[in-house]
Amino acid sequence: MLRRSICSLFAAVVVSVTTAAGEEIGDPEAGREAFKECAACHEIGAGAENGIGPHLNLIFGRQAGSLEDYVYSPSLKRMGANGLVWDLRTLDAYIENPQSLVSGTRMSYPGMGDPDRRADLLAYLRKFSADPANIPEAAPTALPTKPDLDPEILAIEGDPAYGAYLSSECTTCHRRDGSDEGIPSITHWPEEDFVAAMHAYKQKLRPHPVMQMIAGRLSDEEIAALAAYFANPEQ
């Protein structure tokens, strides 16, 4: 029954992705070409099945890690349980840099840096959602925001000694030894990944409310210091 309803959906005429004001977001035909970068792991369209990665039919509005017949990484399941839902903004961030949104994801894709190419890909993916024109984030005020970090932020050289001083709040939950028992490890992360993850919480791309609060009160320099410390806490 589900397969029949999906096939009926794709037999219908599909409109381009537009905002409520009628402004087109990306070119779905160009997005079809961009999807070739995804096709080694993901299928989409009538008859799509799970493979190396889950199928991407009806991805918009879906809770992350929620397909019952696909085995997700613990990291993606945890983010879904924390409230991560796939929409224009979260998908844009994930496609640009999977690890910045979901640390520990099994998706090995290095990311699509060109924002226009991502917009085209998202327009293509939205053709396979139930009713793209009525998805709430199509409103002009909710157009995808570029989750790139200012190069000046990434260039900040963190002080590991200061990071060690600040780390006590982190280690009330995360283990300094890097063990992962229900709480993900943050030890020995590459500094850039740590910084990207914390700023994803600041931008509310990552959904955990406690982490959003903690990241929101940290300065750029404090985040850089924590990143420098946890990259090599044994020093």
pLDDT tens track for 45-93: 988 999 999 999 999 989 999 999 999 999 999 999 999 999 888 999 9
Q: Are 107 and 113 in contact (CB under 8 A)?
A: no
Report residue 171 as tokens: 């280690």
- Do the beta carbons of residue 59 and residue 91 sit within 8 Å? yes
Rounded distance between C-alpha atoms, residue 152 and residue 119, angstroms = 25
pLDDT digits (tens, 9 = 90+) for 141-159: 333 333 457 889 889 999 9
Diameter over CA atoms, the chain: 60
Say if CB 129 and CB 122 are below 8 A apart: no
Q: Please give the residue that has the higher pLDDT: either 173 or 231.
A: 231
Give the fold, CATH level 3, of 151-231: Cytochrome Bc1 Complex; Chain D, domain 2 (1.10.760)
The total number of residues shown for the chain amounts to 235
Give me the residues paired with residue 18 across strands: 24
Residue 193 binned pLDDT confidence (cut-offs 50, 70, 90): confident
Summarize pLDDT for 9-25 with one digit per residue, the tens.
Answer: 333 223 334 443 344 56
Task: Provide the residue ranges of all domains of the chain, joining segments of one domain with +.
Answer: 2-134, 151-231
Q: What is the pTM of this model?
A: 0.63
Residue 30 has pLDDT above 70, yes or no: yes
pLDDT at 5 over 60: no
Domain 2-134, CATH homologous superfamily name and number: Cytochrome c-like domain (1.10.760.10)
* Nearest-10 crossing angle of helices 191-202, 209-216: 100
Please give the pLDDT value at position 44.
94
Report the distance separating Cα 181 and Cα 127, nearest Å.
40
